[in-house]
A and B are shown apart, each in its own frame.
Chain A
Amino acid sequence: MQKYISKQNLNTLLDTMIAEGTRVVAPCLNAGIPLYEPIKSASEMVTELLPRRSSKEAFFPVCEDIMSYAKEGQHVSLKDIDPSRFQETVLVGVRPCDAAAIPVLDAVFSWDYKDEFFLERRKKTTIIGLACTDADDACFCSAVGLSPGETKGSDLFLTPLEGGGYACETFSDKGEALITSHKELFSEQTKAKALPLAEPQTEKIDLKKVKAWLDGHFEDPLWDCIAVRCVGCGACAFVCPACHCFDIVDEGTEKAGKRRKSWDACGFWKFTHHASGHNPRNLQPKRYRNRIMHKFKYYDDKFGQTLCSGCGRCVRICPVGIDIAAIVEEISKK
């Protein structure tokens, strides 16, 4: 289904949904930082800035309770999470690089054991992607086979038009349902031209070639060479739309508390550290190798997909300028 919606009607749509009790998550400013967060009014939406963290947190929050416990003498009672926490949600204004990573994560959260925390939110969320008109030189979606107009992951995709408003295209039943239920706000497509999309400066990388090299180079001087300066923080993983490692911890008192799931990162030395003192990935280059391997080999081996959508956040945020796009490009030329 292809339609047109004016900027004003888009705001009306969001405000109507908010009034109807739908949780609307959009890029907005929080204490000065652009983030994907629930908004109370469409006017809070800020689409000009790339959110500092990706939209994965609409499904996989930074930290969430997964159960609570209470002890009384020898007895323990557990309380499961309240399913009402998973609200009907519309995730709007999502950059193509963020939206494209979401279905990639479906694979890990649904193989064999089903992680309902992720999957229930997925089920109840409609994703409205927004074509990207603004790239910087850290962006590399085009290098990993995506583009500023990529619709993967979006139920409904908006392309900004010259003269205002958006062309809307649906890519799923959810997208169609959203239009159908608010059809008065949409009109037939216009002839207006799309605004020029962003132009990432990176050439397409042959990811098959990258994987083929990784298949045979678990041991290679490259890892020391690129990762000796890695400081071992979790910034790259935490801003990444595809990184999904997490920790599970208990927090509370002797008597009662919560079990929580929170983001973790393979760059941390503690990540694989055994209580015995043994650590299979005891040095930073080994940990950084795991990051690249997981993204461009292991996830492909397991699920046939690449764990990187080229958003460039890790490139911008790395304290020591480690540039995954440059690394993958270098590997592709080996």
Chain B
Amino acid sequence: MIKVNGIAYSVGKKEILSDVSFQARPGEVMAVIGANGAGKSTLLKLLCNEMMPSAGHIEFNGKRLKDYPLNELARKRSVLTQHNTLSLSFTVRELVLMGRYPHFNGQPTGHDLQMVDEAMLAAGVSMMAARTYETLSGGEQQRVQLARVIAQVKDVPNGWLFLDEPTNGLDILHQQQLLIQARNMADNGFGIICILHDINLAAAYADQLMILKQGKVQALGSPKEVVTCENIHNAFGIKVELMKNENFNCPLVITTGRFKYNS
């Protein structure tokens, strides 16, 4: 359970986030959407304990986030950041095994190696296990990083995954597969907080949807409650229409006509 109580973050006089409160529960996918610069990544950095909020506090599994030692936190949640580079040449399997580093000293156990295999399967990278990371395409690299992040918490009861734009660089099939995977993990008790750009993708798979606008929570609730023409227009400054969607219990968002730039 993650409880966020009135957090704010500012750099100098500029307030990047202000008065953000919400609760995220294990077993749920929470998606965060918003325009560029709305504070989504900053929010995720605060949730990862990478930065400290300038006001408010975050409770993680009943304890203040700032009171966790780094290695204990690493055994409870993993983070997929936006820009992943690798300075050395590792094979895919070696890289995914790094996700298990918080769990073993010296040598990985058979269990660790099994988690690596399962994570590679889940992220759909098993067939490239022996290839070196730098020979992969951008989308494949992103999936390998996802496998590493999954391996880190695969066997953790009520583990958490924080994903910052995980669908970046993925084709339409792998975007869906990634969110199906996230959905499955949530159904198995994981908590997932995910920043997304595609509103329809977010609405289709999330239990809770948050729209951030200029550092404030503009809307928060089930996708059905949050995805309205008015909310989307407010957050992104773009006119949309909603279309009934047979397969999901939330309407599809489509942009209407050509967008005229007038402000």
A-B interaction: no
